Amino acid sequence: MAARGRTRHWRRWLAIGVVATAVALVAGPYVFIHFIEGTAPAPLTLSTPSSASGAGETNDSGQAAGAAGGTWTVGSDSIVGYRVAEVLFGQSHTAVGRTSSISGSITIDGATVTGGGFTVDMATVTSDESRRDAQFKGRIMETGTYPTATFTLTKPIDLGSLPARGVRRTFRAKGVSPFTASRGPSPSSSPGSTRAR
């Protein structure tokens, strides 16, 4: 009789343990994602220039900001990064990593972007989670072997007529990105946005 009681008691605790583990596996990620980690940073956007913005600004060719022709370099306040959907034990979350370590330029002749390229220091891309950063820099991007990512324009971009001041337009840029980890160069096509200043 005592042995039966102990068996029932043991089975009850085993059932409670299984249920508690299942609840922890579901509730743990939910609590972490929604209450501890918090919401992801807002998507990157282009700021709207103020009415005084652009006055006295020049491109690298010394032209006024309203003139499109010349060579334009990446500004010191530029940011690049990634934004991806993560799923952890059934809970969705947006992961965001960013860096301001970007350099490059584009050359515009009339209403055509004739050339350009950008380089990003991939080892400086960080998110709000050190374990995610370790995965990004390790098995995902292999920044120890491939520390930079580049994009070089291979086809001119026709801008058409210049937009009015403050108007945002999106163009598709075709180029080559030699950085694809161990897979070698690959052609790519990326949308880019610009706003007239």
pLDDT at 183: 46
Residues of the chain with pLDDT under 50: 52-58, 63-65, 180-183, 185, 195-197
Nearest to 121 by CA among 62, 74, 57: 74
Half-sphere exposure of 94 (CA within 13 A, CB side): 10
pLDDT at 182: 45
CATH number at residue 153: 2.40.128.110
DSSP 8-state assignment for residue 62: S
pLDDT at 58: 47
Euclidean distance between CA atoms 172 and 169, whole angstroms: 10
18 and 109 in a single domain? The answer is no
99 and 15 in a single domain? The answer is no
89 and 136 in a single domain? The answer is yes
Which residues lie below 8 Å from residue 41, measured CB to CB, with a gap of 6+?
A: 96, 98
Any domain includes 49:
no
134 and 171 in a single domain? The answer is yes
**How many domains does the chain contain in total?**
2
106 and 18 in a single domain? The answer is no
116 and 24 in a single domain? The answer is no
Domain of 15 in residue numbering reads as 1-39
The model's pTM is 0.66
Nearest to 124 by CA among 145, 102, 150, 105: 102
76 and 145 in a single domain? The answer is yes
158 and 96 in a single domain? The answer is yes
32 and 92 in a single domain? The answer is no
Any domain includes 70:
yes
Encode pLDDT of 2-50 as tens digits: 555 566 677 878 777 777 777 676 666 666 655 656 677 888 777 766 5
23 and 71 in a single domain? The answer is no
Which residue has 């598709």 as its token pair?
172
33 and 127 in a single domain? The answer is no
Which residues lie below 8 Å from residue 80, measured CB to CB, with a gap of 6+?
A: 98, 99, 102, 118, 120
